[in-house]
């Protein structure tokens, strides 16, 4: 299998004296996987997301995205990597209220050099793929919460990234809308998109193909690699 993401003995410390948010994390995600990273507040999952998304740098260890080590890349090269390789979906939708859904999604292609006409065509295709072909010209305020999250997902996948990162994508939705978003993510994964989903919702994580639990900056269990099954310093597994 081809790896999309690899972390080798990664740590991340903040402040002085240093506080360790991550303490020697090893993780591999292969092409086509759908992985839930689950943990309570303060477990280190947000720090892990930032490192996977190249929004932050590891203190020690190696992070590889599609085989490329990112630790020593320049900020410009990291920005280019994010623009072409990683798609982001957040709990908040981050849509522009003054733009149509097509233009919101097309904004994900602004720095690719595509013409406006081609950006809009790709945006229409992405919106149709998430079931919003009938909402192309609507503004975000005319959409439900679940529909706005689907617009945000369309914007994330319009560049056809190698890796889609979803940070609490159902956290601000009601249960029915959340279920629709989860089903959409499943369908994207079945069609080949590699997805890493960050959540504190253990029930949601249990429904996904692979579950990685993090606590106190350590991966304490991984259903895709039972050999990891690390324990916290207290010796209590997640």
pLDDT above 80 for 145? yes
pLDDT at 72 (0 to 100): 85
Q: For residue 22, which phi and psi values (nearest 5 degrees)? A: -130, 140
Q: What is the mean pLDDT of residues 192-205?
A: 94
pLDDT at 139 (0 to 100): 96
Of the candidates 3, 6, 162, the residue with the CA atom closest to the CA atom of residue 85:
162
Q: What is the mean pLDDT of residues 224-235?
A: 52
pLDDT above 50 for 3? yes
Of the candidates 217, 142, 150, 228, the residue with the CA atom closest to the CA atom of residue 183:
150
pLDDT at 227 (0 to 100): 61
pLDDT above 60 for 61? yes
120 or 226: whose pLDDT is higher? 120
For residues 53 and 88, the answer to whether their CB atoms sit within 8 Å is yes
pLDDT above 70 for 190? yes
pLDDT above 60 for 174? yes
Task: Please give the mean pLDDT across all residues of the chain.
Answer: 91
Residue 232: pLDDT band (50, 70, 90) is very low
pTM of the prediction?
A: 0.89
C-alpha span between 223 and 149 (Å, rounded): 28
In percent, the amount of the chain with pLDDT more than 70 equals 95
Q: What is the mean pLDDT of residues 184-209?
A: 94
Q: Name, in order, each residue with C-beta under 8 angstroms of 198's C-beta and a sequence gap of 6 or more.
A: 36, 37, 45, 46, 48, 49, 165, 166, 167, 168
Residue 230: pLDDT band (50, 70, 90) is very low
Q: What is the mean pLDDT of residues 65-88?
A: 91
Read off the pLDDT of residues 78-134 as tens digits, 9 standing for 90 and up.
Answer: 988 888 899 999 988 999 999 999 999 999 888 777 889 999 999 999 999 999 999
For domain 3-222, the question of CATH label 3.40.50.300 is answered with: yes
Read off the pLDDT of residues 13-57 as tens digits, 9 standing for 90 and up.
Answer: 999 889 999 999 999 999 999 999 999 999 999 999 999 999 999
For residues 31 and 196, the answer to whether their CB atoms sit within 8 Å is no
pLDDT at 233 (0 to 100): 39
pLDDT at 114 (0 to 100): 84
| Runs of H (alpha helix) within the chain | 45-52, 75-85, 101-106, 116-129, 145-157, 175-190, 202-206
Cα separations (Å) of 210 from 38, 48, 65?
A: 11, 17, 19
Residue 218: pLDDT band (50, 70, 90) is very high
């Amino acid at each position: 299998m081809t790896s999309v993401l690899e972390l080798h003995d990664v740590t991340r410390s903040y402040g002085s004296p240093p506080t360790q948010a991550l303490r020697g994390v090893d993780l591999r995600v292969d092409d086509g996987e759908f992985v839930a990273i689950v943990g309570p507040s303060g477990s280190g999952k947000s720090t892990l997301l930032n490192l996977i998304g190249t929004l932050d740098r590891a203190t020690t260890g190696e992070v590889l995205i599609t085989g490329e080590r990112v630790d020593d890349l320049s900020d410009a090269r990291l920005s280019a990597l994010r623009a072409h390789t990683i798609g982001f979906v957040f709990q908040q939708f981050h849509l522009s209220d003054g733009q149509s859904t097509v233009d919101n999604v097309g904004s994900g292609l602004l720095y690719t050099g595509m013409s406006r006409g081609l950006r809009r065509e790709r945006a229409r295709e992405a919106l149709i793929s998430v079931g919003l072909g009938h909402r192309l010209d609507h503004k975000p305020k005319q959409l439900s919460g679940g529909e706005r999250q689907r617009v945000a997902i369309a914007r994330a996948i319009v560049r056809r990234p190698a890796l889609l990162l979803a940070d609490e994508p159902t956290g601000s939705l009601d249960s029915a809308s959340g279920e629709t978003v989860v089903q959409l993510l499943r369908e994207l994964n079945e069609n080949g998109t590699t997805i890493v989903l960050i959540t504190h919702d253990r029930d949601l994580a249990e429904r996904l193909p692979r579950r990685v639990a993090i606590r106190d900056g350590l991966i304490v269990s991984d259903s895709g690699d039972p050999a990891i099954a690390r324990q916290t310093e207290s010796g209590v597994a997640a």
